């Protein structure tokens, strides 16, 4: 009996049987049970119309289904066309697009009489260098200080379409510290930034698209050159297990994978947003002189998108990187010290490497130096030709930030300029503009057509629903699809990876401390945490024994993320606390410590596809193929994950964004004499109390009212503008007259110069790193203005960094090498970590204190000045030799004082004085060479020599 017949004849049969109920026999019972047995299920009744219905409706259903197929094909064609047009558009615009955003002056910000120096129109930034001199930079788009987050995102949005089309993409914010990178990417409470908007747009467009997507979210930071997973909280107790270390792997196709990076499947925007907020909380920030919540790392968000049923997509799995880079900073200005200094150096170094990579890409160089930093390694497959990149360079409008602004704009120009020196002609530009406008128009047509087709599909789906009683686009269909996948998942072989305690592993297979450091375990040293505490970690606590699955991607393009059953790994660790006391680091779970194991059923998340309004037949057709792939991707539920993290974070007190750290840690004074300590205290007081920018007026006041003499370095820091004027106008250098300008004298500033560089030979203690070790960012001038700015160079760890150096060139482009920096850099008190360019020093010499000022400073007994009245350059010369005396930090203060003693005004004038001072230089240098300063000769000895 077929099911349709049975239903129709059911009533008749029952009726006839009931008619015989008086004669209930075994036959009757048999007949009823026969009927019941052959009854079709409710579902099949719905799904399978009766024969007569089929006869009636069959044609119309198959017609509708055909129509649906045609429309689906049509929409797919439109998607392909849209992708092509978008690509053409990007080809014209450039796969790497550069926007510039100018930060507004904050309310209450102390500008003094320093004027804003940055002006802009929609494509151009104009820097007012002097009254009659300016320099302009062109970008794809410039956002003036009043631009809203909306405006910014509107420009960024097209890249999201490319992501849907299967391209890797990267949006990153670059700029000086405190210029608004985090504001642009993260946004504020009122105005969300690019990250949340981009993710929202991605989900929206995924829904609009005719495919099913699987989207996962990851977040990491690169802190001091190490990768840290921001979705895994830092261990807070000695007993907490270390998070698995992240390492970068390259697959045979050149795709980049990050081993052990947590990737959490997200079904909608809200889930992603919650994870993003969680990750932001764990980001390393600290207070610096430039920014109260300065990001001390590069924060990177990865949204991976997988779509199995779209052949027209560029890749099956692609990713979007949203990167908030750490701020480039000049040590001179931020006065960073200790850890802050190291962080700044690490940031600058990786930014420099990023610039090199992009530059090499733009120039189509054979070798792209990706391996120079973790940042470029991670972004390797998202920066090349086949990906889309947007860089947002941030600048400050303030006059005092002009140096950094020039550096940032030069960097951005370097990124942008596709063919340096081959700028498009006006005609070519116009043609490009027309072509782009055409493409945009065409794109709009396609979008409109897509909307029409989509509405047709919806109508047809409704019709189909009426006929069949089902809705292919309904939630039930989705559920059916999900449960199908789930069933397949349970049936299939599931591989999971759990941690094997190191005690189980033979000793020779355990990672050494060095190998861990190399593989990135070093990042687990959290801020303010003692390394030794971490290394003594023995046993995880039970509260962490909750299941979390880490993703496994075996067959995707990025298939190295591993799956970890945390519960089992912790259980194992708990069991095996055994006496592996010999290995202090045995708790560190590096990638070598994993092995395959079974995954608990409850750890598996349900299907998570952002399913589109597709017909069930389409889904069924592809489901088996998808299931095979999905088998290899397992994610934890967002809620579970967040719950876990919440409990972790409540237990932890780590790195909230509000947590601040002192910008300038107190330097060690262990070995200093009492006198020295007192003097240092004064300097320290000054450093801590001086937070605001002192403008020219204040400086003038200092000079005229005989204010306390400051270390000359401070004067320089507060006077960047004059230095710049000097830079851009040679004439002005000779004309500069400030109330502070006095004759040069003896100061405690030390100068490193090519002349004495050979004498001192103390490069390892010095402000600049050796040329072969430092990696300067070389800026190339793009016009004949002759303005070359060289940004901060990187010194290797433990070395103090050289500051920016400006070189005046009258024509052509040139590159500035570390050696040049060497010869031009001038440092102040060596252990202050502050250094100057030669020009800065010149500038500061011109601003040497007045006599009254000098007297005051003399009474301070430290950093006293004895400026001569006219020869500032002569003073500079004199300073150069004194640099040689400071090869030993313990001695240098003692030696400094006699040079700082006043000589009297009369002695400082005339040719004799110059000659005398030159002799002094030679004597001092010779003494230094003989090592006499180490033989106990004190001030008087040196002083006597000079008289
Ligand atoms: N366009 C803007 N509109 C309003 N406020 C802004 C804007 N840009 C930056 N700010 C404000 O400036 C301050 C510093 O910004 P932010 O922290 O984003 O700088 P940053 O470049 O990320 O610094 P760092 O590199 O040190 O992390 C913040 O208080 C921020 O709100």
Pocket test for ligand 1, best of 103, 193, 194, 658 (most atoms within 8 A of CB): 103
Q: How many DSSP H helices and E strands does the chain contain?
A: 34, 25
Q: Is 344 in the pocket of ligand 1 (CB under 6 A)?
A: no
Euclidean distance between CA atoms 378 and 247, whole angstroms? 10
Dump pLDDT digits (tens) for 523-532: 433 333 333 3
End-to-end CA distance of the chain: 125
Decide which of 411, 440, 469 is a domain's last residue. 469
C-beta separation of 259 from 560 below 8 A: yes
Whole-number Å distance between alpha carbons of 216 and 262: 9
Do residues 34 and 88 both lie within one domain? no
- For position 300, what pLDDT does the model report? 92
- What is d(CA 821, CA 770) in angstroms, rounded to the nearest whole number? 10
Higher-pLDDT residue of 545 and 94 is 94
pLDDT: which is higher, 719 or 360: 360
Q: Residue 337: what pLDDT? A: 65
Number of structural domains the chain divides into: 3
- Asked if the structure places residue 697 within a domain, the reply is yes
* Predicted local confidence at residue 827, as pLDDT: 33
Confirm or reject: Cβ of 180 under 6 Å from ligand 1. Answer: yes
Please answer whether residues 291 and 181 qualify as being in contact, where contact means their C-beta atoms are separated by less than 8 angstroms.
Answer: no
Please check whether residue 734 lies inside any domain of the structure: yes
797/11: higher pLDDT: 11
Ligand 1 touching residue 295 (CB < 6 A): yes
Question: Is the Cβ atom of 296 under 6 angstroms away from ligand 1?
Answer: no
Q: Are 886 and 749 in contact (CB under 8 A)?
A: no
Same domain, 757 and 834: yes
Distance CA 341, CA 800 (A): 8
pLDDT tens per residue across span 855-895: 343 334 333 334 444 444 444 434 333 333 233 333 333 33
Q: Is 719 in the pocket of ligand 1 (CB under 6 A)?
A: no
Reported confidence tier of residue 170, pLDDT bands at 50, 70, 90: very high
CA distance 729 to 727: 6
Report which secondary-structure segment, H or E, holds 220.
strand 213-223
C-beta 405 within 6 A of ligand 1: no
Enumerate long-range contacts of 835-839, CB under 8 Å, 24 or more apart. 835/331, 835/332, 835/767, 835/768, 835/800, 835/801, 835/802, 835/803, 836/332, 836/713, 836/716, 836/803, 837/803, 837/804, 837/805, 837/806, 838/753, 839/723, 839/726, 839/727, 839/806
Assigned domain for 651 exists: no
Question: Degrees (nearest 5) of the Cα angle 633, 636, 637?
Answer: 125
Give the residue, out of 118, 193, 291, with the most ligand 1 atoms within 8 A of its beta carbon, to mutate for a pocket test: 291
Ligand 1 proximity of 461 Cβ (cutoff 6 Å): no
809 within domain boundaries: yes
Is residue 822 located within the same domain as residue 903? yes
Question: For residue 269, is pLDDT > 80?
Answer: yes
**ipTM here:** 0.98
State whether the beta carbon of 833 lies less than 6 angstroms from ligand 1. Answer: no
pLDDT of 822 reads 31
**For residues 629 and 863, which has the higher predicted lDDT (pLDDT)?**
629
Residue of 107, 150, 178 best suited for mutating to test ligand 1, as the one with most atoms within 8 Å of CB: 178
Does the CB atom of residue 315 touch ligand 1 within 6 A?
Answer: no
Cα 410 to Cα 360: distance, rounded to the nearest angstrom: 16
pLDDT class of 839 with cuts at 50, 70, 90: very low
What residue owns the CA closest to ligand 1's atom 1? 103
Sole residue written with tokens 């794809």: 140
Residue 280: half-sphere exposure toward Cβ, Cα within 13 Å: 21
Kindly give the number of the ligand 1 atom that is closest to the alpha carbon of 285.
27
Give the Cα-Cα-Cα angle 803, 807, 810 (nearest 5 degrees): 165
User: Does residue 141 contact residue 724 with C-beta atoms inside 8 Å?
Assistant: no
Q: Closest Cα to atom 16, ligand 1: which residue? A: 180
267 Cβ inside 6 Å of ligand 1:
no
The residue contributing the CA closest to ligand 1 atom 26 is 294
Per-residue pLDDT reduced to its tens digit, 33-79: 777 776 655 555 555 555 555 566 677 777 788 888 888 888 888 87
Question: What is the 185 CA–ligand 1 centroid distance (Å)?
Answer: 10
Residue 342 has pLDDT above 90, yes or no: no
Q: What distance in Å separates the CA atoms of residue 274 and residue 268, rounded to the nearest whole number? A: 10
Closest CA to 775 of 174, 352, 351: 352
The answer, yes or no, to whether residue 814 has pLDDT greater than 50, is no
CB 801 within 8 A of CB 767: yes
Residue 135 has pLDDT above 80, yes or no: yes
Q: How confident is the prediction for the chain on average, in pLDDT?
A: 59
pLDDT tens-digit readout, 666-700: 343 444 444 444 444 443 443 333 333 333 333 33
Give, for ligand 1, the residue of 107, 183, 323, 394 to mutate: max count of ligand atoms closer than 8 Å to Cβ: 183
Question: Has residue 364 got a pLDDT over 60?
Answer: yes
Which of 225-234, 300-309, 830-839, 901-910 is predicted with the least confidence, judged by mean pLDDT? Answer: 830-839
- Helix, strand or coil for residue 361? helix
| pLDDT surpassing 50 at residue 852 | no
Q: Is the CB of 553 under 6 A from ligand 1?
A: no
pLDDT attached to residue 39: 65
Instruction: Report the C-alpha gap between 366 and 381 in whole angstroms.
Output: 16
What are the backbone angles phi and psi of residue 289, rounded to the nearest 5°? -65, -25
Ligand 1 atom closest to Cα of 296?
27
The answer, yes or no, to whether any atom of ligand 1 lies below 6 A from the CB of 179, is yes
In this structure, the strands spanning 141-143 and 96-102 are: parallel
Return the SS3 of 554: coil
- Give residue-wise pLDDT tens across range 455-499: 888 888 887 777 776 555 444 554 554 454 444 434 433 233 333
Ligand 1 within 6 A of 900 CB?
A: no
Q: Which residue owns the Cα nearest ligand 1 atom 8?
A: 180
3-class SS of residue 645: helix
103 CA from centroid of ligand 1 (Å) = 8
pLDDT score, position 219: 92
Q: Is the Cβ atom of 757 under 6 angstroms away from ligand 1? A: no
**pLDDT per residue as tens digits for the range 136-159:** 888 888 998 889 999 999 989 888
Q: Is 621 left (phi over 0), alpha (psi -120 to 50) or beta?
A: alpha
Q: Does residue 15 sit in the same domain as residue 79?
A: no
Cα(226) to ligand 1 centroid in Å equals 25
- 123 CA to middle of ligand 1, Å? 22
Residue 859's CB is within 10 A of a number of other CB atoms, namely: 10
* Closest of 933, 879, 887, 931 to residue 765, by C-alpha: 887
Res 908 pLDDT > 90: no
- Report H helices in 706-837: 712-718, 720-728, 730-735, 754-760, 818-824
What's the confidence (pLDDT) of residue 151? 92
Query: Which residues on adjacent β-strands are paired with residue 321?
Result: 170, 302
Q: Ligand 1 in contact with 760 (CB < 6 A)?
A: no
With beta carbons less than 8 A apart as the criterion, state whether 225 and 373 touch: yes
Q: What is the largest CA-CA distance in the chain?
A: 143
Cα of 805 from ligand 1 centre, angstroms: 26
pLDDT reported for residue 510: 54
Q: For residue 87, give the CATH number of its domain.
A: 1.10.287
Say if residue 838 is in the same domain as residue 901: yes
* 9 and 89 housed in the same domain: no
Whether residue 70 sits in one domain with residue 12: no
% of the chain surpassing 90 pLDDT: 6
Q: Nearest 5 degrees, angle CA 759-CA 760-CA 764? A: 140
Ligand 1 atom closest to the CA of 326, numbered from 1: 25
**Residue of 442 and 579 predicted with greater confidence:** 442
Taking the C-alpha atoms of residue 232 and residue 281, their distance in angstroms, rounded to an integer, is 11
92-106 average pLDDT score:
83
Domain match, 32 and 67 both = no
Segment 807-826 shows an average pLDDT of 32
Q: How far is the CA of 402 from the centre of ligand 1 (A)?
A: 17
Q: Is residue 82 part of a domain?
A: yes
- 514 domain residue, yes or no: no
Q: Please indicate, yes or no, whether residues 893 and 926 belong to a single structural domain of this protein.
A: yes
Instruction: Report the 10 Å Cβ neighbour count for 783.
Output: 12
Ligand 1 centroid–CA 186 distance in Å is 10
- Kindly report the backbone phi and psi dihedral angles of residue 456, in degrees, each rounded to the nearest multiple of 5, phi listed first: -60, -45
**Do 728 and 764 fall within a single domain?**
yes
Give 64-70 contacts, CB < 8 A, sequence gap 24+.
Answer: 64/460, 64/463, 64/464, 64/467, 65/464, 65/615, 65/617, 67/460, 68/457, 68/460, 68/461, 68/464, 68/615
With CA atoms as reference, report the closest residue to 212 among 255, 164, 168, 269.
164
- Domain interval for residue 452: 59-93+431-469
Q: Whose CA is nearest to atom 23 of ligand 1?
A: 178
Distance of alpha carbon 780 from its chain centroid, rounded?
A: 24
Selected residue with higher pLDDT from 373 and 498: 373
At 194, the pLDDT band (50, 70, 90 cuts) reads very high
Ligand 1 atom at minimum distance from 183 CA:
18
Give the residue, by CA position, lying nearest to ligand 1 atom 6.
180
User: Do the domain assignments include residue 914?
Assistant: yes
pLDDT of residue 185: 92
Task: Work out the pLDDT band at 19, boundaries 50, 70, 90.
Answer: low
Q: How far is the CA of 138 from the centre of ligand 1 (A)?
A: 23
Ligand 1 mutation pick, 180, 323, 350, max ligand atoms within 8 A of CB: 180
- 167, part of any domain: no
174 lines ligand 1 (CB under 6 A): no
Could you report the per-residue pLDDT of 286-305, keeping only the tens digit for each? Answer: 666 666 667 778 899 999 99
**Best mean pLDDT range from 161-175, 620-634, 740-754:** 161-175
pLDDT band at 393 (very low <50, low <70, confident <90, very high): very high
Q: Identify the weakest region by mean pLDDT among 345-354, 723-732, 906-915.
A: 723-732
Residue 623 in tokens: 């489901």
- Report d(CA 33, CA 27) in Å as an integer: 10
Q: What is the mean pLDDT of residues 387-394?
A: 90
Q: Are residues 15 and 64 in the same domain?
A: no
- Mean pLDDT in residue range 559-575: 35
Does ligand 1 lie within 6 Å of residue 104's CB atom?
Answer: yes
**CA neighbor of 899 nearest in space, from 788, 744, 755:** 744
Of the candidates 511, 494, 527, which has an alpha carbon nearest to the alpha carbon of residue 604?
Answer: 494
Tell whether the model's pLDDT for residue 534 goes beyond 60. no
What is the mean pLDDT of the segment spanning 579-590?
32
pLDDT digits (tens, 9 = 90+) for 492-520: 332 333 333 444 445 555 555 555 544 44
Three-state secondary-structure class, residue 265: strand
* Ligand 1: residue whose CA is nearest its atom 2: 103
CA triple 450-451-456, angle to 5 deg:
95
Separation of 272 CA from ligand 1 center, angstroms?
A: 23
340 C-beta closer than 6 A to ligand 1: no
- With a 6 Å cutoff on the Cβ, whether 182 touches ligand 1 is yes
437 and 457 inside one domain? yes
The token pair that represents 538 in the structure block: 């023995």
Question: Regarding beta strands 609-610 and 496-499, do their DSSP bridges make them parallel or antiparallel, or are they unpaired?
Answer: unpaired
Q: Residue whose CA is closest, atom 14 of ligand 1?
A: 178
From the CA of 394, give the closest atom in ligand 1. Answer: 21
């Amino acid at each position: 009996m077929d099911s349709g017949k049975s239903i129709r004849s059911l009533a008749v049969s029952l009726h006839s049987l009931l008619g015989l109920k008086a004669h209930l026999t075994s036959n009757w019972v048999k007949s009823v049970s026969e009927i019941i047995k052959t009854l079709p299920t409710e579902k099949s009744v719905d799904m399978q119309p009766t024969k007569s219905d089929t006869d009636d409706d069959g044609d119309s259903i198959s017609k509708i289904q055909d129509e649906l197929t045609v429309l689906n094909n049509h929409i797919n064609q439109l998607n392909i066309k849209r992708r092509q047009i978008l690509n053409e558009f990007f080809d014209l615009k450039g796969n790497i697009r550069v926007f510039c955003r100018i930060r507004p002056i904050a309310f209450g910000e102390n500008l003094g009489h320093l004027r804003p120096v940055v002006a802009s129109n929609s494509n151009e930034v104009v820097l007012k260098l002097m009254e009659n001199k300016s320099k302009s930079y062109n970008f794809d788009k410039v956002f003036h200080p009043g631009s809203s987050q909306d405006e910014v995102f509107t420009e960024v949005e097209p890249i999201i379409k490319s992501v849907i089309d299967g391209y890797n993409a990267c949006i990153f914010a670059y700029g000086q510290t405190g210029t608004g990178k985090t504001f642009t990417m993260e946004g504020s409470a009122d105005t969300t930034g690019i990250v949340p908007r981009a993710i929202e747009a991605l989900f929206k467009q995924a829904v609009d698209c005719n495919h099913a997507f699987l989207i996962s979210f990851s977040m990491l930071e690169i802190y001091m050159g190490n990768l840290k997973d921001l979705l895994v909280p830092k261990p807070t107790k000695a007993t907490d297990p270390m998070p698995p270390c992240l390492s970068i792997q390259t697959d045979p196709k050149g795709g980049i994978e990050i081993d052990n990076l947590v990737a959490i499947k997200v079904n909608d925007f809200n889930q992603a947003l919650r994870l993003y907020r969680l990750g932001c909380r764990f980001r390393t920030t600290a207070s610096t002189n430039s920014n109260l919540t300065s990001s001390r790392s590069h924060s990177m968000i990865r949204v991976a998108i997988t779509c199995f049923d779209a052949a027209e997509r560029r890749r099956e799995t692609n990713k979007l990187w949203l990167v908030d880079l750490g701020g480039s900073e000049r040590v001179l200005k931020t006065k960073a010290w200790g850890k802050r200094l190291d962080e700044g150096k690490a940031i600058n170094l990786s930014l420099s490497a990023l610039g090199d990579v992009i530059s090499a890409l733009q120039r189509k160089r054979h070798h792209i130096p990706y391996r120079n930093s973790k940042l470029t390694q991670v972004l390797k497959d998202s920066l090349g030709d086949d990906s889309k990149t947007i860089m947002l360079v941030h600048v400050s409008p303030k006059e005092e930030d002009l140096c950094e602004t020039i550096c940032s704009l030069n960097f951005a120009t370097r990124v942008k300029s596709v063919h340096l020196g081959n700028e498009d002609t006006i005609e070519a530009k116009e043609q490009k503009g027309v072509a782009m406008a055409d493409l945009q128009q065409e794109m709009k047509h396609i979008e409109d057509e897509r909307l029409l087709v989509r509405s047709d599909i919806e109508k047809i789906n409704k019709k189909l629903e009426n006929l069949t009683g089902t809705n292919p686009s309904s939630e039930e269909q989705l559920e059916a699809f999900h449960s199908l996948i789930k069933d397949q998942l349970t049936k299939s072989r599931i591989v999971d990876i759990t941690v094997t305690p190191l005690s189980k592993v033979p000793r020779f297979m355990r990672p050494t401390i060095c190998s861990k450091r190399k593989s990135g375990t070093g990042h687990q040293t959290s801020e303010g945490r003692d390394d030794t505490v971490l290394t003594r970690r023995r046993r995880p606590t039970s509260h962490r024994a909750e299941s979390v699955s880490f993703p496994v991607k075996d067959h995707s393009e990025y298939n190295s993320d591993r799956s970890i059953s945390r519960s089992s790994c912790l259980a194992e660790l708990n069991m095996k606390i055994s006496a592996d006391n010999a290995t202090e680091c045995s708790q560190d779970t590096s990638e070598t410590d994993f092995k395959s194991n079974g995954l608990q059923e409850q750890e598996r998340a349900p299907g998570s596809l952002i399913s589109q309004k597709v017909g069930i037949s389409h889904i069924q057709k592809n489901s088996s193929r998808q299931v095979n792939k999905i088998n290899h991707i397992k994610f934890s539920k967002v809620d579970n994950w967040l719950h876990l993290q919440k409990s972790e974070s409540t237990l932890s007190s780590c790195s909230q964004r509000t947590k601040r750290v002192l910008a300038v840690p107190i330097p060690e004074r262990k070995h200093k004499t009492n006198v020295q300590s007192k003097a240092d205290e004064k300097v320290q007081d000054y450093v801590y109390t001086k937070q605001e920018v002192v403008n020219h007026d204040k400086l003038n006041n200092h000079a005229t009212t005989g204010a306390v003499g400051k270390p000359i370095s401070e004067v320089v820091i507060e006077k960047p503008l004059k230095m710049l004027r000097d830079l851009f106008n040679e004439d002005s250098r000779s004309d500069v007259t400030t109330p502070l300008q006095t004759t040069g004298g003896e100061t405690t500033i030390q100068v490193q110069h090519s002349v004495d560089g050979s004498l001192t030979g103390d490069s390892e203690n010095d402000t600049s790193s050796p040329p072969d070790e430092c990696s300067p960012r070389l800026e190339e001038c793009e016009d004949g203005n002759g303005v070359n700015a060289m940004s901060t160079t990187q010194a290797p760890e433990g070395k103090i960094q050289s500051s920016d150096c400006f070189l005046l060139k009258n024509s052509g482009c040139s590159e500035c090498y570390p050696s040049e920096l060497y010869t031009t850099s001038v440092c102040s008190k060596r252990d202050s970590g502050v250094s100057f360019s030669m020009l800065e020093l010149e500038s500061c010499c011109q601003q040497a204190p007045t006599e009254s000022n000098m007297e005051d400073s003399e009474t301070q007994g430290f950093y006293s000045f004895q400026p001569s009245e006219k020869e500032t350059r002569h003073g500079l010369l004199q300073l150069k030799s004194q640099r040689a005396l400071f090869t030993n930090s313990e001695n240098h203060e003692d030696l400094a004082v006699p040079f700082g003693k006043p000589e009297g005004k009369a002695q400082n004038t005339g040719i004799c004085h110059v000659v005398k001072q030159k002799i002094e230089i030679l004597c001092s240098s010779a003494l230094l060479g003989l090592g006499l300063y180490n033989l106990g000769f004190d001030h008087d000895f040196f002083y006597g020599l000079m008289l």
